[in-house]
Amino acid sequence: MRVKVTERRAVGATGLQLTALGMGCASLGGLYAPVDAETAITTLQAALDAGIGYFDAAPMYGLGRAEHMLGYFLRERVPQAPVVVSTKVGRLMARERPGRPLPPEAEKNPLDSGWHNGLPLREVFDYSYDAIMRSFDDSQQRMGRARIDMLFVHDIGRVTHADAAGFHWSALTMGGGFRALADLRDAGIIGGFGLGVNEAEVVLDAMNEARLDCTLLAGRHTLLEQNADALLAKALDEGMAIVIGGVFNSGILAAGNSGNRKFNYQDVPQEVARKVDELAAACAAFDVPLAAAAIQFPFRHPAVTSVLIGAKHPDRVRQNVGWFEQALPNELWQALEGRGLIS
């Protein structure tokens, strides 16, 4: 099935519609390498010019910088652009000062490789009612927007929090975090909410606690890794939209083992490198770039509403768009299934 970038799909009953290809803004926060302000703005413009109408940010990205960049672009350069914007809650940006020492929960996220030109702040995890409201207020100020369309609870679960996961889950559920999001939605201040995570299991747990409109799942439903079948099936059954991020698994699927050797934000394990070589060889047999197969793979499941790219340069945006809209033969998918490389 060939999908165009500009195709719009509904997000449950929210009234929101996302373009099939969206733009994730982690790279604009300086992920892996610094990105100057002008490059950030021209990258966002290239995405808009290509028909991308969905942009996702987070306080974590550049410790506030990505929200500033996205907000400036949308507010000052293209104020009438018909876009959908999401950001995330669960982290507050702060500095230690007299009267406010940073608490012990100012944890270091193991998946955070650092920000090359981020702001001089530290992240403090807090998923309670008041913190969710403050995080939303702070994001509005950084972006200068009266409305943020969707909020994702960022990195709740054991992958990020390990032994502190139960504490943070309690803040989200018993401490009113989900209630804060529901209050914002009920008031019409946001269109909807869900989770933005790197693990599928915690989303299934969250669906038993709150009515989620949309979930951003990074890295778990890709050409390289399919670990979210139960979640995708439940999302389809209950009408929860799914946005897939991390389609290149932090870079390894963009150019194979000759390119950016990162997997899940870290160095590539040997067994992963072997599978990448197998995938690349299978794609080459059909004269298909590995990256084109990777960026199109998520849409083979009907639960998927949008796929996010994380380009940090206008040329990369255009390259991603080309991969996304390239016609791929059905025989490729059959070959990958036949070799047991995809489910």
pLDDT of residue 261: 67
How would you classify the pairing of strands 266-267 and 17-19? unpaired
Structure tokens at 28: 């604009």
Exposure letters 97-111 (e unless 16+ CB within 10 A, then b):
eeeeeeeeebbebeb
pLDDT band at 108 (very low <50, low <70, confident <90, very high): low
In a domain, 218, yes or no: yes
> Is residue 83 within 8 Å of 113, Cβ to Cβ?
no
* Whole-number Å distance between alpha carbons of 304 and 307: 8
Lowest mean pLDDT among 57-61, 94-98, 154-158: 94-98
Q: Report pLDDT for 273.
A: 85
Please identify every residue annotated as catalytic. 56, 61, 88
> Residue 210 pLDDT more than 90?
yes
Percent with pLDDT over 70 in the chain: 95
Whether 1 is in a domain gets the answer no
Please give the C-alpha separations between residue 278 and each of 32, 220, 265, 335, in angstroms, as whole numbers: 26, 19, 21, 11
Residue 249 sits in a domain whose CATH number is 3.20.20.100
Domain hosting 303: range is 15-338
pLDDT recorded at residue 269: 78
**How much is the average pLDDT of 140-163?**
95
Calculate the CA dihedral of residues 95, 98, 103, 109 and round it to 10 degrees.
20
What's the confidence (pLDDT) of residue 216? Answer: 98
| Confidence tier at 172 by pLDDT (50, 70, 90) | very high
81 domain-assigned: yes
Question: Counting runs of H as helices and runs of E as strands, what totals does the chain give?
Answer: 13, 14
Note whether residue 10 is domain-resident: no
Find the DSSP H helices in 244-340: 252-255, 270-284, 290-296, 314-325, 330-338
Quick one: pLDDT at residue 270? 84
Quick one: average pLDDT of 10-18? Answer: 97
Q: What is the pLDDT at residue 13?
A: 93
Average pLDDT value for the chain: 93
Selected residue with higher pLDDT from 117 and 56: 56
8 A C-beta contact, residue 50 and residue 56: no
> Residue 275 above 60 pLDDT?
yes
Q: What is the pLDDT of residues 153-164, one digit of tens each?
A: 999 999 999 999
Residue 4 lies inside a defined structural domain of this protein: no
List, for residues 306-333, the tens digit of each pLDDT value.
999 999 999 999 999 999 999 999 999 9
Residue 3 located in a structural domain: no
Is residue 9, in this structure, part of any structural domain at all? no
User: Structural domain tally of the chain?
Assistant: 1
Residue 101: per-residue pLDDT = 85
Does a structural domain hold residue 112? yes
